[in-house]
Structure 1
Amino acid sequence: MKSPYSLAAAIALWLACVMPLAPVRAATPADQLLVGMNMNNVLTLDPAAATGNDVVPVAANLYDYVVELDPRDVTRVLPAVADRWTIAADRRSIAFKIHPGIRFQSGNPLTADDVAWSLQRTLKVNRALASPWKSYGFTAKNAERLIRAVDPATLVIDLPIAVDPGMVIYTLGTSIGAVVLDRRTVLAHERNGDLGAAWLTTHTAGSGPFALADWKPEDVLTLQRFDGYWRGPAKLRRVVLRHIPESQSLRLMIDRSDVDVALGLSAPDLVALRRDAAVNVQSVAGGSMYYVALSMKDARFADKRVREAIRSLIDYEGINRFVMPGYGVPHQRPVQAGLPASLPDPGYRLDVPKARRLLAEAGYPDGFAVDIRVLADAPFLNIATSLQATLAQAGIRANVLTGTGNQVYGAMRERRFEIVVGRGGGGLEPDPYSNLRALVYNPDNRDAAKLTNFQGWRTAFYDPEINRLFTAAQAASDPTEQTEMYRRVQQRYADVVGPIFPISQTTNTVVLAKRVEGYELSPVWTTHLRSVSKRP
C-alpha cells in the first residue's frame, strides 16, 4: 500500500501539470529597455528615404532635429539643435541660431553647414521625404541657394514661394528628412555620387543620445548610449528593439516581462492588458488616417458613381467598433480632428441599396472583380476582409492580396493598383496643410512627375479648383481666411468623391512595464528615450 505522503506528492505533481500557471515575471536588465514591435516597415535607415511611422522613433533617438515639438502640446515648438529662430517681417525667411559645442558621435563638430547640407541632401536624393520640401517650393536645384549656412552658428532658410513659415518649422521638428547628418562622415562613404545613400541604408551618422550598434532587418535593432551626448548621457545604457509582429506573442512577452515596451498590439490584447495592474497603457491621438484608396487610373474608378458606390460599401461603424480600438478613432475627413479648420464627419455609412443603384447607373449591375492590396498585419488585414465582405453584397468580387510595405505601398507609388487599404496622409505637423498636401493636393498628374509621396498623385486624383484653394490657403496670412479655404477644400473633396476614404484617425498606443519611468509617447511619433529609466 502506498504511503499517503506519496499519494499527496503524486496529486501535487499532477495538478502542477494540468493547472494553468500564473505568469512568471522575469526582470529585464535595469539599464536596458527592451521594445517589442512590428518592424516590417523599417526598410532603410537613410533619413532621406525612410518612410513610415515605425522608423520615426528610431531616427529620433539616433539623430537630433533642428527643433522639437512638445509631446504634450505639439503646436508648441521647443529648441533642439537650434537654440532660437526668427521669422522675417515679410514671412519669406527664417534664421536659426545653432547651439554651440554639439558634437556628432564621430567627434566632428555639428555646425550650420551640417544642418544646411542635410536638408539639401534630402532634396537631392529626391525620395519620398523630399515631398514636403518640394511643396514649399524647394527643389534639388535651388536648395543650396535657399538653404544655407551664413556662418557656423547661423542657418538661413529663404522661402521660394509664399507659404506659412510656421509649417516649415513644424516640418523641421517632425520629418525624418530634417534630422541633422554628420556631413563629413557621410561623404566619406559616398559612392558614385550617391551622397552616401547606400551606406546610410544600414549605418547612421548622427549626434543623438544613442548610436546604432546592430541591425538585423525583421529581427533586432540595438541602440547603444552615446556618452558624449551634448544634453548629457541618456539614463539607459542600451535600447533593444525586437521584431514581434504577432500581437498575442507580444502580449505574452509584456505579461512575462520579457519586454518592457509593447507597440502595435491588437484591440483584444489591449483590452486585456488595460486590466493588468503590472503595466501602464498610454494612448495619444495621431494625425494620420487609416483609409481605403482607389486608383483613378482604373477606368472603373475614374467614374464618380463607382467611387461613391465604394464609399457606400464601407462598414465604418463595424470597423471602428470591432477592429480599430487601440489603433484609431472614427474619422471620415482628410483633415485631422481638433484643428480650427476641421469639419465634422459627413456621416457616411454602409448603404448597399445605394451602392447597387450607383453601380447599375455606371454600367456594372453585376459588379466586377477587383484586387485589394493590404499589409498582412492588424488592423489593415481586418479592414480589408471587412471591405471584401461588404463589397460582395453589391456584387463586387474582391481578392485580398497581402504583402510587405514595399509590395503594397510600392505598387501604390508606381500607380499600379486598384484598391489599397492603408495608413498615411501626413498629419505629423499639427496643421491642415499637412493632411491636405499628403492626401488631396496633386500639382502634376503626369506619370513622369513621380510625386510618389503625394497620395493624391498616387491615386491619380487631380482637381484644379482644389489645387487653387490649397495654394491660396498656404500663402494666406489671415488665419480666418486660411481656415475657411481649408474647409472649402475638404467640402469639395467630399462633393467630387475623392478616391481616398478615411475610416479612422490614428491612435498611437503603447503598453509599458510598471518599472519604466519617463516614457512620454509623442503624437508625432518622435518619442525621445533620453530621459527614460527603469526602476530596479
Structure 2
Amino acid sequence: MKARAIIRTLLLSCFCMAATPALLSAKTPDDQLIVGMNMNNMLSLDPAAMTGNEVVGIIVNLYDSLVELDPENLSRVLPSLAKSWEISPDNNLITFHLVDNAKFHSGNPVTAHDFAWSMKRLLTLNMAQATTWKSYGFTAENVDKLIRAKDDKTIEIELPKPNDPKLVIYSLATLGSGSVLDSKTVMKHEKNGDWGNGWLTTNEAGSGPFKLDVWQAKDVLRVNRADGYWRGDAKMRRVIFRHMTESQALRLMIEKGDIDVATGMSVPDINALKANPDVKVEEVKKGTLYYVAMSLKNDEFAKPKVREAVRYLIDYDGLNKTVMPGYGFYHQRPIQAGMDATLPNPGYTLDVPKAKALLAEAGYPNGFETTLRVLSDQPFLNLATSVQSTLAQAGIRAKIISGTGNQVYGAMRDRKFDMLVGRGGGGVDPHPHSSLRSVVYNPDNSDEAKLTNFQGWRTSFYDAQLNEMIDQALLEKDPARQKQRYAEIQDRYETLYPAIIPVSQMVDSVVQRKDVIDFVSHPSSTTRLYLVHKQR
C-alpha cells in the first residue's frame, strides 16, 4: 500500500508539473465575452438619462433602435426595427415601416406605439438625452402631434421646423436616445409620475440581443443572450463588463487571456501590446475634438488680437507627435476630419515672435496672468502643461487648475473660467451640422439662455452672421451648394479668431484577443455585440 501511495504521489506530481504552463495561461469561456472597462461614468441604464459613451455601448445591446449606422461607412444608414423608410419631397416628414417579428424581452410585440411613447417619455422627463431632440424643435407639448404611430407598424416623424431630415435619422441611429422601450413593462414600474425612471436606472425593458442579468455599480455588469431574438440569437451566451481603471491591470489581464477586450488603456501600455502576437489593437477615429478654449467674458480674451496670439502659442506639431499618439491626430478645423465638407487644415504652427507682436498690438506687451483648467487625466494634463509652457514664452502666465469633470466642465458650463484644455464637440452624427452645433453655434448669448450643451455659448463666442450661415447651410438641398456653404462657414470662423481652437481629433484604442471575431468598434460608441464570437 505504501509503494502504491508513493507511485500515486509521483504521478500526481508529474501531472501538476506538466499542467503548470497551461494553468498559467488563462482562457475565458468560449461562449462568453469578458470586457474590461472604466465604469465610473455609468450612472443609469435608462436611455433617457444616460450620459457618457460607456453606457451607450451597453444600451445598444439591450435595446433596438429604428436604424443603425454602418461602422465602416458612417453615412450609410442600416435598417434595424425599421425595415424601410422614406422622406417626403418637402423634407418635413419621415415615415418608418417596422419589421413584423420583433418582440421585447417580456414577450410583448414591438409596435410603432412603443416608439412614439418612448419619445414622449424622453421629452417629458427632459433629462440628458432630450437635448438633441429639443434642438430640433421637439417638446413635451408637441411630441404627440409630431411623432405618431399611424398603425402598429408605421411611424411618422414630422419635423417641427425646417431641418435636414438626414440629421434626424442619424440621431436615431447614434445617440441611444432613440431606443424603443417596452411601454407596458415600464409603466408597471412607474412611481409618482417618474415614467419608470427609478426602475430603469438598474433594469431594462428592451428588445435587443441581450437582456440584463446583474449590474453592480463600479464592479460588474452582466448580460445574457436573449433567446428568440428577432434577428437570430446572439452568438455569445453571455457578455461580462468588468470595472477596471488601472491600465497596467488591463494590460496584464488581456495578455494572460483573463479578459477578451480592453478599453481605456494608457498609450504606453497600448504600444507595448502592439508587439504581442496574441492581441490586436484597433484605433477608432471619433469625431470629438481636443481643444484649447477661452472665455470672452475675460477682458483679455474678449480682444481678437489676444485670441489670435493664443492661436500661435500652441505647439500643434509637437503635441500631435509626442503627447497625442494613441489619443488623437492632428486636426485644426471645427468640423471633424473625413467629411466631404471639411476644409484642409489651415496649418497653424507655434510662432512666438508673431504672438508677442499681436499681444503688444492688443495692449499686453508684457503678457498677463490667467488660469487654465484641465481634467486630472491624460492626455489632458500633458496637453495643458505644454500649452502653459508655450503661453509663457509670450508672457501669458497661466496657472493650471486641475480637477474632475464637474470641476472643469462645470465651470465652463457656468461660464466662469478663463482658459480650458478639453475634449468635446460633435461628430457623433456624420453631418457637418453636428460639429458646428456643438462647437460654434450660439443663437442666444445671454446668461439666461443656459445653452449649456452649446460650447460656443459656454465661451460667450457669438456672431449673428455665423449663426445665420449655419442655419442656411443646414437647409440647403443642393449638395454642391451645401458643401460650399460649409466651406464659407469654416473660413469665417477662422477670420473671427474663435474662442475654441481645435488641436487634435480623438482616437479611441480598443485592444482585443486575436481569437475574438467580428468585434467592430463603432465610432459613435454604438458597438453591437450579437455577431461577436471566438475562433479557437
TM-aligned CA distance change 1:401 to 1:131, over 3 Å: same
Once the two structures are overlaid, the 10-residue window that deviates more, 149-158 or 176-185, is 176-185
Are the equivalent residues in 2 in contact too, given 1:69–1:77 (CA < 8 A)? Answer: yes
**In structure 2, how many angstroms separate the alpha carbons of the residues matched to 1:312 and 1:123?**
43
- Report the equivalent of 1:274: 274
Letter in 1 for 2:122: T
Q: Residues 119 and 294 (structure 1 numbering): CA distance in 2 closer, same or farther, change over 3 Å?
A: farther
Residue number in structure 2 paired with 1:147: 147
User: Structure 2: which 5+ runs fail to align?
Assistant: 1-20
Question: C-alpha displacement at 1:230, in angstroms?
Answer: 1.8
- Alpha-carbon spacing, 1:154–1:268, altered in 2? closer, same or farther (3 Å): same
Q: Give runs of aligned pairs for residues 129-528 of structure 1, distance below 5 A.
A: 129-528=129-528
Which residue is equivalent to 1:79?
79
Cα distance between partner residues in 1 of 2:516 and 2:31? 11
- Contact 1:128 1:453 (C-alpha < 8 Å) held by counterparts: no
CA offset at residue 77 of structure 1? 0.8
Contact 1:129–1:453, Cα closer than 8 Å, also in 2: no
**1:300 to 1:140, Cα distance in 2 relative to 1, 3 A:** farther
- The answer to whether the 8 Å contact 1:83/1:98 transfers is yes
Displacement of 1:23 in angstroms is 12
CA gap of 1:256–1:23, structure 2 versus 1, over 3 A, is farther
Once residues 282 and 532 of structure 1 are traced to their aligned partners in structure 2, the CA distance between those partners, rounded to angstroms, is: 15
Question: Structure 2: how far apart are the matches of 1:196 and 1:301?
Answer: 46
Structure 1 window deviating more from structure 2 (115-124 vs 519-528): it is 115-124
Unaligned regions of 5+ residues in structure 1, if any? Answer: 1-20
Change in CA separation of 1:373 and 1:124 when aligned onto 2, cut-off 3 Å: farther
Q: Which moved more, 1:350-359 or 1:81-90?
A: 350-359
Instruction: Kindly state the Cα deviation for residue 26 of structure 1 after the two structures are TM-superposed.
Output: 1.1
Q: Answer with 136-145 or 187-196: which moved more.
A: 187-196
- Normalised by the length of structure 1, the TM-score is 0.91
Change over 3 Å in CA distance of 1:184–1:462 after alignment to 2: farther
The one-letter code matched in structure 2 to 1:462 is: Y
Read off the aligned partner of 1:65 and give its amino acid letter.
S
Q: C-alpha offsets along residues 181-201 of structure 1, whole Å, 9 cap, x if unaligned?
A: 222333333344333334333
Partner of 2:7: none
**Contact 1:267–1:323 (Cα < 8 Å) also in 2:** no
* Code of the aligned partner of 1:531: L
**In structure 1, what is the Cα distance between the partners aligned to 2:296 and 2:108?**
49
Letter in 2 for 1:291: Y
Q: Is the 8 A contact 1:108 1:182 kept in 2?
A: yes
Aligned-partner Cα distance in 1 for 2:416–2:427: 25
**Counterpart residue identity of residue 174, structure 1:** T
2:235 alignment partner AA:
K
1:24-58: per-residue Cα shift (whole Å, max 9, x none)? Answer: 43112222211122233333323223233232212
Say whether the 8 Å CA contact 2:284–2:510 is kept in structure 1.
Answer: no
Structure 2 CA distance for aligned equivalents of residues 66 and 374 of structure 1: 38
Contact 1:40 1:405 in 2 (8 A): no
1:179 and 1:37 map into 2 onto residues whose CA distance is 23
- Say which SS state the counterpart of residue 262 (structure 2) adopts: strand
Match of 2:126 in 1: 126
Bigger CA drift: 124-133 or 28-37? 124-133
What is the root-mean-square deviation in Å for CA atoms of aligned residues? 2.2
Asked if the contact 2:62–2:212 (Cα under 8 Å) also holds between the matched residues in 1, the reply is: yes
> 1:338 and 1:417, CA in 2 relative to 1: closer, same or farther beyond 3 A?
same
Deviation of 1:22 after TM superposition, in Å, equals: 13
User: Which amino acid in structure 1 is aligned with residue 96 of structure 2?
Assistant: F
Deviation at 1:249, TM superposition (A): 2.6
Alignment match, 2:18:
none
Say whether residues 1:40 and 2:40 are aligned partners.
yes
Q: 1:184 to 1:369 in 2, by over 3 A?
A: farther
Q: Which of 431-440 and 119-128 deviates more?
A: 119-128
- Is 1:266–1:379's contact at 8 Å kept on the other side of the alignment? no
CA distance in 1, matches of 2:216, 2:373: 27
Cα 1:243–1:349, aligned 2, differ >3 Å: closer, same or farther?
A: farther
Distance (whole Å) between structure 2 residues aligned to residue 192 and residue 525 of structure 1 = 33
Structure 1 consecutive aligned stretches of length 4 or more whose deviation exceeds 4 Å: 21-24
Q: Secondary structure at the match of 2:41?
A: coil
CA distance in 2, matches of 1:415, 1:284: 32
SS of the aligned residue for 2:174 comes to coil
Range with greater deviation from structure 2 (46-55 or 523-532):
46-55
SS of 1:297 mapped into structure 2 = coil
1:325 alignment partner AA: P
Kept in 1, the 8 Å contact 2:426–2:434? The answer is yes
Distance 1:361 1:124 in 2: 52
Q: CA deviation at 1:79?
A: 0.6
Does structure 2 retain, via aligned residues, the 8 Å contact 1:372–1:398? yes
Distance change >3 Å, CA 432–CA 249, structure 1 → 2: same
Hey, what does 1:64 align to over in structure 2?
Answer: 64
Residues 412 and 222 of structure 1, relative CA distance in 2, 3 Å threshold: farther
Q: Could you give the per-residue CA deviations for residues 350-375 of structure 1, whole angstroms, max 9, x where no partner exists?
A: 22223333334334444444333333
